[in-house]
A and B are shown apart, each in its own frame.
Chain A
């Protein structure tokens, strides 16, 4: 929150953990809490494709694979927006970036 207030950027993983690659996991509420405290921060949705195969949960070493990152249009938190609505909006924006 301090970093965001100073105008710095923050990389945030709303799933809160590594997934299995089958589907996007439910988002934790942390990201909503953060933007509610710093509403002027822009939220840029990013989709990292294939990263779950590089080092699945339970392994301590990576394998070399090609990954890609897609960036979407920035979102903004609107004052008083309920947690579910904001998380749904962010989730949809991220799913739109998924290749094919």
Chain B
């Protein structure tokens, strides 16, 4: 066990917030048991319990060092891709391509992170895999909806494997004066992205009136978006000492993470709405599937990675 010391206050603060949330949740449960809002309260408590578990898993993975963090995100990519292709009307002819994607491409992409081979990490999926997948499907000579099937598999890999692998790839950045503390970039990104989701939800529930794209997601409102993004930006700025960035830049990064996360959630909602489902899966009680929790991170991770790499990292 070598839990990074600088991250202990963050986890401590998360524990305190969750402890307070669990207390409030328990009080609501006692106060309103059997009432009309029982369902909402039960869901809230299930979400809070799941947060304890998710933070415990993230903390344990970090304690195992870079390998633990890379392995955790590799597993999350696998689970997310599984949820994605379950909702995708691929055909029998795509079986080999799906096997190749799940069991070879995803491990290989994370191996490239671990091997610190940036050039291949950046082009492996968009060049080599994207050319190989339609070949594997074409070999089975089934032309029905060929372009659609190929595009859906490619998009699944793009979101679930390629984009998400940029989270542990932060560990490979060489930020001057920040060596050995790269895991804090991962904590910063995941923390801001998840807190921004929660804050948008809370602001939306409290003050939400004007819906954004009501057809896609009834929970997204202008008030929730503005309040959530602003408070996440402030939190990011306040945490600047934890990052390699000066205060204003840390706030700008948090703003980037929050806005791109919101847009990611919107895009993934459109896919879910088209498929006629509410959640991607049932893995995390109260939250839905892996992809329901990670949709915002999938969009913010590559942007945060490249912004950090461009402005702060030595090539």
Contacts and interface: CB of A to CB of B under 8 A. Distances in A.
B85 interface: yes
B281 A64 contact: no
Interface in A30-78: 50, 53, 56, 59, 61-66
* Contact-residue size bin, chain B (C-beta under 8 Å from the other chain): 10 to 19
Q: Is the interface of B mostly helix, strand, loop or mixed?
A: helix
A20 B93 CA distance: 12
B82 interface: yes
A65 B85 contact: yes
A66 B95 contact: no
Nearest to A63: B98
Contacts, number: 24
Nearest to A62: B99
Given A50-B86, A56-B92, A63 B281 contact: no
Interface in B57-93: 78, 82-83, 85-86, 90, 92
* Contact-residue size bin, chain A (C-beta under 8 Å from the other chain): 10 to 19
Contacts of A62: 99
A25 to B, nearest CB: 16
Contacts of A65: 82, 85-86
A64 B81 CA distance: 9
A64 B95 contact: no
A14 B86 CA distance: 25
Given A66-B86, A66-B281, A59 B95 contact: yes
14 contacts: A20-B92, A50-B86, A56-B92, A56-B95, A59-B95, A61-B99, A63-B95, A63-B98, A63-B99, A64-B102, A65-B82, A65-B86, A66-B82, A66-B86
Interface of B: 78, 82-83, 85-86, 90, 92, 95-96, 98-99, 102, 281
Interface of A: 20, 50, 53, 56, 59, 61-66
